[in-house]
Amino acid sequence: MSSSLRGRAAIAGVGNTKRWNAPGRTPFDQLQEAVVLALEDCGLGLKDVDGLFCAISSSGLPVLNVAERLGLKVRHADGTMVGGASFLFHLQSAVAALENGLCDVALICYGSNQLSAGGRLVSMPDPQPYETPYRARYPISSYAFAAARHMYEYGTTRENLADVALAARAWANLNPDAFARGPLAREEILASRMVSDPLTRADCCLVTDGGAALVITRADRAKDLKSQPIYVLGTGVAVSHRQIAAMPDLTTTAAVESGRRAYAMAGVKPTDIDHVMVYDAFTITTLLFLEDLGFCAKGDGGAFVSSGATAPGGGLPVNTNGGGLSCNHPGMYGLFTVIEAVEQLRGRCGERQVEGAELALAHANGGVLSSQATAILGTATTL
């Protein structure tokens, strides 16, 4: 029955503060600005919002905090917290809520001051007594295990990982709003300080501030609003573990399942997709998700990226904003994968625009490869 949701809802408005280093602003300040921008983008107001979806690293009660600040009297809310993929879980939940009349205007929003607040990863209390005594660096050591396994099983190299960071930077250099721009050499990445073998500092995403928001309505309403609607053709979510030791196979993520569900709902296959956004928390995640979402065979991710396929000028434009590695990464980056997909499908991306992009895939990850969520978005021609 899931295919009945195909194209029933649309992203009507997007908001992105692009304030990657903004001292003096709280996470809620970033979030509120993004919400104002998203509502202005589609010509709706706060009074129209009756469904609220949010998660914030620093707040255990995000729905209450956000509703109070925005003065929202919502009749549906979802504060699901599964890390950086939360907002794509929210998207699936919003599509279902809209379809069933639980709300008419859904708002998905996020804000962070991770960089200006001190540059540390902010996370809610979540004790892990079977891991804490071993002092693994959270979260990088978990991703290091996955990278080590990928190298062991498939011969992936540190050069392959470096090429993920290089491709991200090449895209960022075409995006005036990216935080990390400028020349970057493979040797520079390989010489970067090792943090948790085999991952170096250069394999890690940025630490930035930022705020983002989406306004979603039913498709029939979205087409009468101010900006070009981008249709939600498919969504899929999956969870597999909390602690990395409980992940069944460290080289195959639950993106296989979330992707399968999203493709099935959308009725498309990987070769149909024009533009791809995958959550690059660490260089290894780009490889894992390209493989698990069917853009290359399992184990071939390194060779695929090193061939230049995902960089500007390649056959598959991936992470065209510069990704978490070079554009921005305010703690939980998931919403930004959807925002860049919408911008590309609307043709608003200037120098980095993917010509004729009609169908995009946005994929987000949460925890330590723990939660996976995939969204397939399209222009009106794909309906």
Partner 1 sequence: MSTDSRFDGPGPDDVWRDALRQERFLIQRCRNCERHRFPPALVCAACGGSDLVWVEASGRGVVYASTVVREREGSYNVALIDLAEGARLMSRVDGLAPEAVRIGMSVTARIETAPEPILLFHATDGGVL
The contact set with partner 1 (CB under 8 A) reads 129-131, 133-137, 141, 144-146, 148-149, 152, 193-198, 243-246, 250
> Given the complex with partner 1, which of 131 and 358 has the nearer CB atom?
131
As measured in angstroms, the least distance from the Cβ of 131 to partner 1 is 5
As measured in angstroms, the least distance from the Cβ of 36 to partner 1 is 42
Shortest distance (Å) from residue 331 CB to partner 1: 22
Nearer Cβ to partner 1, position 149 or 260? 149
Cis ω for the linkage preceding 139 (within 30 of 0): yes
Q: Is the dihedral of CA 203, 256, 229, 358 positive or negative?
A: positive
CB of 248 to partner 1, least distance (A): 9
Measured from the CB atom, is 3 or 132 closer to partner 1?
132
Q: Least distance in Å: CB of 191 to partner 1?
A: 14
Comparing CB distances to partner 1, the nearer of 14 and 369 is 369
Strands 359-366 and 275-278 come out as: parallel
What is residue 173's three-state secondary structure? coil
CB of 185 to partner 1, least distance (A): 22
Q: What DSSP state is assigned to residue 56?
A: B
Dihedral over Cα of 84, 86, 88, 91: its sign? negative
DSSP-based three-state secondary structure for 30:
helix
Question: 24 or 133: whose CB is closer to partner 1?
Answer: 133
Which residues are within 8 A (CB) of 145 and not within 5 positions of it... i.e. 6 or more apart? Answer: 244, 250
Question: For partner 1, which is the closer residue by CB, 152 or 224?
Answer: 152
Structure-token pair, residue 347? 């043709």
In 43-185, where does DSSP find H-type helix?
62-70, 86-99, 140-154, 158-172
Q: Which is nearer to partner 1, 127 or 182 (CB)?
A: 127
Nearer to partner 1, 118 or 127 (CB): 127
Assigned token pair, 63: 């729905």
Q: What is the closest distance, in whole angstroms, from the C-beta atom of residue 139 to partner 1 in the complex?
A: 12
Quote the least distance from Cβ 184 to partner 1, whole Å: 22
- Residue 211 CB, nearest distance to partner 1 (Å)? 32
Q: For residues 72 and 49, is the Cβ–Cβ distance under 8 A?
A: yes
**Rounded Cα distance, 338 and 362, in Å:** 6
CA within 13 Å, CB half, 258 = 32
3-state DSSP helix/strand/coil % of the chain, to nearest 5? 40, 20, 40
Classify 77 as helix, strand or coil: strand
Alpha-carbon distance 217 to 105, whole Å?
A: 5
- For residues 3 and 128, which CB has a smaller minimum distance to partner 1 in the complex? 128
Q: What are phi and psi of 236, to 5 degrees?
A: -155, 140
List C-alpha distances in Å: 7 to 227, 260, 302, 351, 380. 17, 17, 34, 29, 9
Could you give the CA distance from residue 259 to residue 279 in angstroms, rounded to a whole number? 13
